[in-house]
């Protein structure tokens, strides 16, 4: 058995942990397949709420955008996005596959401003060169709740999704308690192809892995920290779960804070 850590083989360790610091696993056998380096186009959408736009209006646009995810994933577009406060979002997408997004945001010009950018990267190797160094750690602490959101949910329950998105997302104004605003991130690298691995089976029905989080610093008092942990672990996770009870999360995402471990696993 071979042990690999970040200080020994950082590339292999990064692959094993999936790019995230909380992933763990025991590998007893490993087969590495080599493929030709893929060609790619990388770009981004930057979407910002206008001054007069309410949170309800903004999150309704975001819910409509999510309803387009299954279609663009079907033609090979994948990526990540973040939503921070004041509400804004980024989606790594591009070209003809994004025509649906163009039409949506052009029709929402009274609510949001938007722009589409292209990054001059055409190969996987070039992309790796512009990515941040692996293993960086941000200051402070945070807790997150996540759920894999199904294609059916984003296309057929748009209003319900928008309502939940607003409750788990950042507010238009900075929090009055001095804490950082909530944040949301979404993973759009999901594939419907069945693979024999440790992912929750509902992953294959999902269009986005939706993550909401709250951070704090050393100056945050213990009572506030406990309230944050309780709010994210129970209230916000429950909101995500109730969107679609058949969906789940990563097998290895369950936290020791949670007293609803079995429910969390689906």
Q: What contacts 36, CB < 8 A, 6 or more positions away? A: none
Residue at 49 is within a domain: yes
Alpha carbon 218 to its chain's center: 26
**What is the 3-state secondary structure of 119-137?**
ECCCEHHHHHHHCCCCCCC
Looking at the fold, whether 255 and 148 belong to one and the same domain comes out as: yes
Residue whose C-alpha is closest to residue 212's, from 241, 233, 183: 183
Residue at 136 is within a domain: no
Looking at the fold, whether 164 and 219 belong to one and the same domain comes out as: yes
Q: Whole-angstrom Cα distance, residue 44 to residue 162?
A: 22
Residue 170: Cβ-neighbour burial (10 angstroms; 0-12, 13-18, 19+): buried
Residue 65: Cβ-neighbour burial (10 angstroms; 0-12, 13-18, 19+): buried
Residue at 48 is within a domain: yes
Residue 74: predicted pLDDT: 85
The pTM (predicted TM-score) of the whole model is: 0.66
**DSSP of 131-160, one letter per residue?**
SPPTT---SSEEEEEEEEEEHHHHHH-HHH
Looking at the fold, whether 64 and 16 belong to one and the same domain comes out as: no
Residue 2: predicted pLDDT: 54
Q: State the alpha helices, DSSP H only, in 182-221.
A: none
Looking at the fold, whether 48 and 29 belong to one and the same domain comes out as: no
Looking at the fold, whether 257 and 203 belong to one and the same domain comes out as: yes
Looking at the fold, whether 94 and 18 belong to one and the same domain comes out as: no
Q: Whole-angstrom Cα distance, residue 147 to residue 244?
A: 9
Q: Are strands 183-187 and 112-119 parallel, antiparallel or unpaired?
A: unpaired
Domain that holds residue 159: 141-264
Residue at 1 is within a domain: yes
What string of pLDDT tens digits covers the 266 residues of the chain? 455 555 566 666 656 655 455 555 566 677 778 888 878 877 777 888 888 889 899 899 999 999 999 988 888 888 888 888 743 444 444 556 677 777 888 888 888 888 777 666 777 677 766 665 544 445 578 898 888 899 999 999 999 999 999 999 998 888 888 788 898 998 888 777 777 766 667 778 889 989 999 988 888 899 999 999 999 988 999 999 998 888 877 654 445 444 444 444 44
Looking at the fold, whether 126 and 156 belong to one and the same domain comes out as: no
Looking at the fold, whether 4 and 49 belong to one and the same domain comes out as: no
Residue at 92 is within a domain: yes
Looking at the fold, whether 157 and 124 belong to one and the same domain comes out as: no
Intra-chain end-to-end CA distance of the chain, in Å: 32
Q: Whole-angstrom Cα distance, residue 87 to residue 183?
A: 9
Residue at 135 is within a domain: no
Looking at the fold, whether 148 and 253 belong to one and the same domain comes out as: yes
For residue 51, give the CATH number of its domain.
3.30.70
Looking at the fold, whether 245 and 149 belong to one and the same domain comes out as: yes
Residue 151: predicted pLDDT: 92
Q: Which token pair is 194?
A: 């069945």
Residue 212: Cβ-neighbour burial (10 angstroms; 0-12, 13-18, 19+): buried
Number of domains in the chain: 3
Residue at 178 is within a domain: yes
Looking at the fold, whether 23 and 116 belong to one and the same domain comes out as: no
């Amino acid at each position: 058995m071979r042990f690999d850590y970040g200080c020994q083989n950082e590339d292999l360790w990064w692959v094993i942990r999936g790019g995230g610091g909380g992933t763990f696993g025991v590998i007893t056998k490993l087969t590495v397949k080599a493929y030709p380096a893929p060609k790619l186009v990388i770009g981004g959408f930057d979407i910002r709420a206008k001054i007069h736009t309410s949170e309800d209006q903004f999150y309704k646009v975001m819910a409509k955008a999510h309803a387009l995810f299954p279609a663009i994933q079907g033609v090979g577009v994948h990526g990540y996005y973040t939503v921070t406060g004041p509400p804004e979002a980024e989606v790594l997408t591009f070209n003809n596959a994004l025509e649906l997004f163009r039409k949506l945001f052009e029709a929402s010009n009274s609510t949001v401003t938007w722009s589409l950018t292209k990054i001059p990267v055409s190969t996987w190797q070039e992309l790796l060169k512009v990515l941040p160094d692996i293993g960086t750690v941000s200051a402070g602490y945070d807790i997150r709740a996540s759920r894999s959101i199904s294609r059916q949910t984003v296309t057929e329950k748009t209003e319900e999704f928008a309502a939940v998105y607003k409750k788990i997302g950042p507010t238009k104004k900075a929090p009055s308690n001095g804490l950082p605003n909530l944040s949301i991130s979404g993973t759009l690298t999901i594939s419907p192809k069945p693979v024999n691995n440790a992912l929750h089976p509902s992953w294959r029905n999902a269009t986005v892995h939706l993550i909401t989080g709250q951070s704090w610093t050393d100056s945050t008092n213990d009572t506030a920290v406990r309230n944050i942990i309780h709010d994210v672990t129970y209230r916000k996770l429950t909101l995500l779960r109730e969107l679609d009870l058949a969906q789940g999360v990563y097998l290895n995402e369950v936290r020791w804070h949670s007293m609803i471990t079995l429910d969390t696993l689906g």
